[in-house]
Amino acid sequence: MTTGITILGSTGSIGTSTLDVVSRHTDNYDVIALTANTDVDVLEQQCHQWHPAYAVMSDEVCAGELQNRLKASASTTQVLSGVEGLNTVAGLDEVKTVVAGIVGSAGLLPTLSAAQAGKRVLLANKEALVMSGQLFMDAVEHNHAELLPVDSEHNAIFQCMPAQLPPDPEKAGIKKILLTASGGPFRTFSSDQLDKVTPEQAVNHPNWVMGPKISVDSATMMNKGLELIEAHWLFNVEIDKIEVVIHPQSVIHSMVSYTDGSVLAQLGNPDMRTPIAHALAWPVRMDSGVEPLDIFEVAKLEFEKPDFDHFPCLRLCYEAIRAGGSASIVLNAANEVAVAAFLQHQISFTAIAALIEETLSKATITENMDTIENILLADQDARIIINECMARFKL
* All structural domains of the chain: 3-149 (3.40.50.720), 152-308 (no CATH), 324-395 (1.10.1740.10)
> In the prediction, which pLDDT does 114 show?
98
Pairing of strands 78-81, 54-57: parallel
CA distances from 250 to 109, 150, 206, 294 (A): 31, 16, 10, 13
User: Cα–Cα distance between 317 and 334 in angstroms, integer?
Assistant: 12
Q: What are phi and psi of 7, to 5 degrees?
A: -110, 110
> In the prediction, which pLDDT does 288 show?
97
> In the prediction, which pLDDT does 168 show?
86
User: How do residues 76-123 score in pLDDT, each as one tens digit?
Assistant: 999 999 999 999 999 999 999 999 999 888 999 999 999 999 999 999
Q: Work out the widest C-alpha separation in the chain, in whole angstroms.
A: 64
Nearest to 55 by CA among 27, 83, 78: 78
Phi-psi domain of 289 (left: phi exceeds 0; alpha: psi -120 through 50; beta: other): left
Cα first-last separation, the chain: 57
Q: Which residues of the chain have pLDDT under 70?
A: 205-209
> In the prediction, which pLDDT does 164 show?
80
> In the prediction, which pLDDT does 207 show?
64
> In the prediction, which pLDDT does 204 show?
81
